[in-house]
Structure 1
Amino acid sequence: MFLFFWYFSGVTQLLILLSDSAGFTGFRQSALVSTLWMIPLILFPARMRWLAAMIGIPLWICSLAGFGYFLVYGQEFSQSVIFIMFESNQSEASEYLMQYFAWWMVPLFIGYGLGAWLLWRKLRPVYLPWPKAIFACLLLFTLSLGYTVTRQLIINADSHRALDKIEDRLEPATPWQLIVGYHQYRQQLSNMQAMLKNKNSVAPVKHLSDARAGLPSTLVLVIGESTNRQRMSLYGYPRQTTPNLDRLRNQLDVFDNVVTPRPYTIEALQQILTFADQENPDRYLTTPSVVNLMKQAGYKTFWITNQQTMTKRNTMLTTLSQEADKQVYLNNNREQNARQYDDDVLKPFDNVLADPALRKFVVVHLLGTHMNYQYRYPPEYEFFTDRRGVPPNVTDHQLSTYNSYDNAVRFNDQVVSTLIEHFAATKPDGFLLYLSDHGEAVFDPDHPDVLGRSEGAPTAPMYTVPFIIWRSPSWKAHQQLDLASMTSRPYSSAHFIHTWANLAGLHFDELDYSKSLVSTQYQVHPLLIGNPEHPKNLIDFSEISPGLSQPLAREKEIAKSARRKTINSHL
């Protein structure tokens, strides 16, 4: 009976333990928590087999996510993955399943299900006298939940902290990892919606001044999706994946050492678009966003998105977009089919540029190179179809996906370059900045079997992002910043809001020029990656990517030293 219920959490936890990707805690907790399901079978032995099936089938279904994730990544199904799962719509989730699915997983899933069925067949009822049955059930409840709940309520005066600790204990076991994930997702969503409802309670930045106050300005922020700069010819990739940006190269400031703090859209943008960072991940709830900042500076704000939205408020990111004065939601389909391409943003973008407002701030959020890659570009952009320019590590089975990603990058180049050209054609007084939320690993030579993103198994392509600025001649003349001398600075997009404010000519008390990529007061800060909920596990990006250029060796050492000081201070 115990083995049957332990099986749905224990098999995956045992594999994790044997692979040395995590310690013994998860294995122990899954075993303890699994004893809870034995209680109904002891209380009602005559219906034991029926009850076991009614409980076991949902447990088996819920356990497939963790089991499948381990098969793909060799890692535990983390809280971050659960969060992303609840931020995805049905179509997006099915795309991921199709992308990760491999034939060899079929017999493993069949064998996994067969093991559960065989244990179910071996179940036999346990008849105990009623007093002993009650005692046994109380003991099992204490082992599974009672002790943990009681202990945390006693040692934590704060009930919310106690609940967090209880959830940590339950999380390794099925189905609690999904229940905990959903609870935390709803909690975060509620926080964002509360911030939107009560945005007047979020204090504005202090002593804001604007070097261009009262003058015409149009500032554009283009947010890409899942685009790894290492796959852009603009950054030296041998395939011509960005021919249009290559052509515009002499008009651009191309920063080649920018990384994202998190490899997931929501968690990355919580930091990129606010004053939150890896040391202070919750600041997005209590400080102004870049949209609030620009509104405070007197800009009319627009948000154009091709990210899928079933309703205007169905995701945390959509909720954040509601802070803008006007929103354009383009992707309201039930499916992310091939007809929903990023060039759909061009018409509303032109409409915004034609808006008579004197000062405009525009966010354009693309689907970019989001998986499933073949849905990100029209058939006529099927440019890469063979092995020319493909690293030798890419297998025949991987080739189609590898080429699809490069085709998606090439179409993304078409969209971003067209946005720049349309913007330039209006002869604006302003700038356009393009960066991606995070990167993507697609069978890269250093990790030839890795596809997608996993914070538990980080690789450089998941974090290296493009960071490109186009400035109008009038803006360059006014600001006179020598950005060409700054393009190789190591930088985390977690500090993006300081760079944006600096570029926009804003000044306020909270602005930290040492965190601005374009400031003369810039300083090297640690390029921290990882889950900030577990600060001991934060690492500097240089630890997974030794490829920083030699001229930056001294800055790299400074960054490592700063990282040690920062983490020690944080702990």
Structure 2
Amino acid sequence: MGIAKNVAPTRKGIDWAGLGWMFLFFWYFSGVTQLLIQLTGTAGFSGFRQAFILSGVWLIPLLLLPAYTRRLAAVLGGLLWLCSLSSFGYFLIYGQEFSQSVIFILFESNVAEGSEYLAQYFAWWMLPAFFAYGLGAWLLWRQVRPVYLPRPVAVFASLLLLACTIGYPAVRQFSKNDTFQAGLEGFEQRLEPATPWQLVVGYRQYRQQLDSMQALLAGNAKIPPLRNLKDAHGEQPATLVLVIGESTNRQRMSLYGYPRQTTPELDQLRDQLQVFDNVVTPRPYTIEALQQVLTFADQEHPDAYLTTPSLLNVMKQAGYKTYWITNQQTMTKRNTMLATFSQQADEQFYLNNNRAQNARQYDGDVLDPFAKVLADDAPRKFIVVHLLGTHMSYQYRYPQEFERFTDHQGAPASVTDDQLPTYNSYDNAVLYNDFVVSSLIKRFAATDPNGFLLYLSDHGEAVFDAPRPQVLGRNEGAPTSPMYTIPFIVWNSPKWQAAQPRSFDAQLGRPYSSSNLIHTWADLAGLSFDELDPSKSLVSAAFKARPLLIGNPQQPKSLIDFSLIKPKPAGSEIAQQAPRQRSTLSL
């Protein structure tokens, strides 16, 4: 008997069903998690789209080597399944999309902390879920069969798949960016939603951002301490809280006169609050603003954040245990400076590890860690709570029960029907932000503390507001007042107020830039040191009004004095004076 030869079966036409099963099998390892993200409204559609496209690349070896289809599918599928468990499991536990932030937290924690992090939300039903996930992959693998194409057709199809899945995104990103690094980052962003790239790209980005952060921390460690620091309160127990909001324009808060009741909780607390109504941010971007807000840097000395102590350094030198609770993204290229500030604290709580900023993430998550820190037995505590606030996309910033504004009532007549959903979702985000900030104040007050809480936003946001109702977002090159007008609120505990009776009534309308916050904070906290400038403290008798410089300090001649602008409440249809440029930096 002769030996049978392995001859490819003859087929009429292309086995499209076979191709479909192949694709579905490989899509499964990225697609299930992305589908869950879509069904739960956790993030936008781009991740789902990119995972769908990139799944096609795994068809190439099967088309080129059809005789080994089942074995290749088993090996590749097994590897992809293992890699996908991290993103699938992380979504089940935390309801978030896996990112390099997760790698950062796991790698920067000890074994006990990492185990606690993973086990915090683990439930019994996750084991059947993992089993069902693996079973689904196995059932799909059983449907995979060889697809035999003429050799030239198989090669052409493989090249076409490679071009569509990898080639075109790479060429597009590298051609539209000026540098190789920028092109690589754009290309990686396209790869990241799919398995196994979220691990490969995530780890590379983690290492890159970690190196940058460690360099910044090493530089910070070399900064000399403040000279002759004194604390008017001695070493008595105290808890001081700084709440940093995000993208919240005070003109959209009823606390500041907005006609819609977007801050009902803070409105009820108004008699307990010091509400400053003339504070602006120097820059309309989080990192650039906080580099000044949290350090001695300002618009005339924008790089001083690299050479002077941060607010965390100040409070640690004053004998406070420091904490950083953040609902911002943990570890991205843009947020490396935020991670650096957070790592200067004694303890950190990272709550938002989503891959993309436009993902569903609620600031109510900060309340439990805040309560935990308040219960810490450290006698002197300095707590920073960094919110996601009203950052785009606004519909992801609040739960369904806070969707109060749904029609045109209370909105300016200039808001069009197309703009109205976005306009309303921003106001709903402000409403939820009101709940979170007021809850922080109430929980703080319930501990009968000796201290104060200060809330401000990093910057504002233009959401179809006057004087340019067509503008959405922030643009430093075309500034409008909503991008810069921020809330600035202080709550003093009865104990703190009794120990240092102060009335701020005469200071509430002072023109002030949050770039000088460190001086105001030190004044409020009773700290003095040689570097302190009382004339830059909003609450000091020595306060000196200065031009409120906004704009890019790397281009000094383009800086604008915001005090020349007259902001008007949202809903008003009166035209607003355009900003005038300053030709010099002289004060």
TM range (shorter): 0.5 to 0.7
* C-alpha separation in 1, matches of 2:176 and 2:334: 30
Residue of 553, 567, 571 corresponding to 2:585? 567
* Corresponding position of 1:406: 427
* Corresponding position of 2:483: 462
User: Shift of the alpha carbon at 1:334?
Assistant: 3.2
User: Shift of the alpha carbon at 1:310?
Assistant: 4.7
Q: Please say if 1:211 is aligned against 2:232.
A: yes
Q: Please say if 1:228 is aligned against 2:249.
A: yes
SS at 1:396's partner residue?
coil
* C-alpha separation in 2, matches of 1:313 and 1:406: 26
User: Shift of the alpha carbon at 1:308?
Assistant: 1.5
Paired residues in the alignment total: 395
* Corresponding position of 1:72: none
User: Shift of the alpha carbon at 1:86?
Assistant: 7.9
Write out aligned runs for 1:517-556 (5 A). Answer: 517-545=538-566
* Corresponding position of 2:406: 385
Q: Please say if 1:341 is aligned against 2:362.
A: yes
State whether residues 336 and 375 of structure 1, in contact with CA within 8 Å, keep that contact through their aligned partners in structure 2.
Answer: no
Write out aligned runs for 1:57-206 (5 A). Answer: 61=173, 193-206=214-227
* Corresponding position of 1:255: 276
* Corresponding position of 1:303: 324
State whether residues 390 and 397 of structure 2, in contact with CA within 8 Å, keep that contact through their aligned partners in structure 1.
Answer: yes
SS at 2:470's partner residue?
strand
* Corresponding position of 2:533: 512
State whether residues 458 and 544 of structure 1, in contact with CA within 8 Å, keep that contact through their aligned partners in structure 2.
Answer: no
* C-alpha separation in 2, matches of 1:192 and 1:202: 16
* C-alpha separation in 1, matches of 2:256 and 2:396: 24
Q: Give the fraction of aligned pairs with identical amino acids, expressed as a percent.
A: 67
Q: Go from structure 1 to structure 2 and tell me whether the alpha carbon gap of 1:519 and 1:63 turns closer, same or farther (over 3 Å shift).
A: farther
* C-alpha separation in 2, matches of 1:207 and 1:326: 26
Write the letter of the residue equivalent to 2:522: A
* Corresponding position of 1:280: 301
State whether residues 343 and 415 of structure 1, in contact with CA within 8 Å, keep that contact through their aligned partners in structure 2.
Answer: yes
* C-alpha separation in 2, matches of 1:437 and 1:540: 18
Q: Go from structure 1 to structure 2 and tell me whether the alpha carbon gap of 1:187 and 1:458 turns closer, same or farther (over 3 Å shift).
A: farther
1:174-218, Cα deviation, whole Å (9 max, x unpaired): xxxxxxxxxxxx999967532412433101110000001210100
User: Shift of the alpha carbon at 1:238?
Assistant: 0.1
User: What TM-score does the superposition give when structure 1 sets the normalisation length?
Assistant: 0.64
Write the letter of the residue equivalent to 1:530: G
User: What TM-score does the superposition give when structure 2 sets the normalisation length?
Assistant: 0.63
User: Shift of the alpha carbon at 1:58?
Assistant: 6.7
Q: Go from structure 1 to structure 2 and tell me whether the alpha carbon gap of 1:316 and 1:528 turns closer, same or farther (over 3 Å shift).
A: same
* C-alpha separation in 2, matches of 1:90 and 1:451: 24
Q: Go from structure 1 to structure 2 and tell me whether the alpha carbon gap of 1:187 and 1:343 turns closer, same or farther (over 3 Å shift).
A: closer
* Corresponding position of 1:494: 515
Residue of 366, 384, 404 corresponding to 1:363? 384
State whether residues 338 and 377 of structure 1, in contact with CA within 8 Å, keep that contact through their aligned partners in structure 2.
Answer: no
User: Shift of the alpha carbon at 1:531?
Assistant: 0.3
SS at 1:215's partner residue?
coil
State whether residues 192 and 285 of structure 1, in contact with CA within 8 Å, keep that contact through their aligned partners in structure 2.
Answer: no
* Corresponding position of 2:315: 294
1:287-315, Cα deviation, whole Å (9 max, x unpaired): 10000000000000000000112589962
* Corresponding position of 1:354: 375
* C-alpha separation in 2, matches of 1:228 and 1:65: 32
1:218-252, Cα deviation, whole Å (9 max, x unpaired): 00000000000000000000000000000000000
Write the letter of the residue equivalent to 2:379: L
Q: Go from structure 1 to structure 2 and tell me whether the alpha carbon gap of 1:264 and 1:277 turns closer, same or farther (over 3 Å shift).
A: same
State whether residues 210 and 505 of structure 1, in contact with CA within 8 Å, keep that contact through their aligned partners in structure 2.
Answer: yes
Q: Go from structure 1 to structure 2 and tell me whether the alpha carbon gap of 1:485 and 1:420 turns closer, same or farther (over 3 Å shift).
A: same
SS at 1:447's partner residue?
coil
SS at 2:296's partner residue?
coil
State whether residues 209 and 333 of structure 2, in contact with CA within 8 Å, keep that contact through their aligned partners in structure 1.
Answer: no
Q: Please say if 1:481 is aligned against 2:502.
A: yes
SS at 2:471's partner residue?
strand
* C-alpha separation in 2, matches of 1:416 and 1:280: 31
1:26-45, Cα deviation, whole Å (9 max, x unpaired): xxxxxxxxxxxxxxxxxxxx
Q: Structure 2: 5+ residue runs without aligned partners?
A: 1-165, 194-206, 570-579
State whether residues 498 and 513 of structure 1, in contact with CA within 8 Å, keep that contact through their aligned partners in structure 2.
Answer: yes
Q: Go from structure 1 to structure 2 and tell me whether the alpha carbon gap of 1:490 and 1:313 turns closer, same or farther (over 3 Å shift).
A: closer
State whether residues 436 and 467 of structure 1, in contact with CA within 8 Å, keep that contact through their aligned partners in structure 2.
Answer: yes
User: Shift of the alpha carbon at 1:540?
Assistant: 0.2
* Corresponding position of 1:238: 259
* C-alpha separation in 2, matches of 1:333 and 1:300: 28
Residue of 368, 375, 380 corresponding to 2:396? 375
User: Shift of the alpha carbon at 1:62?
Assistant: 6.2
* C-alpha separation in 1, matches of 2:274 and 2:520: 14
1:392-438, Cα deviation, whole Å (9 max, x unpaired): 11000000000000000000000000000000000000000000000
SS at 2:283's partner residue?
coil
More off after superposition, 271-280 vs 191-200: 191-200
* C-alpha separation in 2, matches of 1:90 and 1:487: 45
1:152-180, Cα deviation, whole Å (9 max, x unpaired): xxxxxxxxxxxxxxxxxxxxxxxxxxxxx
* C-alpha separation in 2, matches of 1:63 and 1:230: 41
User: Shift of the alpha carbon at 1:65?
Assistant: 8.5
* C-alpha separation in 1, matches of 2:317 and 2:255: 35
Poorly superposed stretches of 4+, deviation over 4 Å: 54-66, 186-192, 310-314, 335-339
CA RMSD of aligned residues (A): 3.3
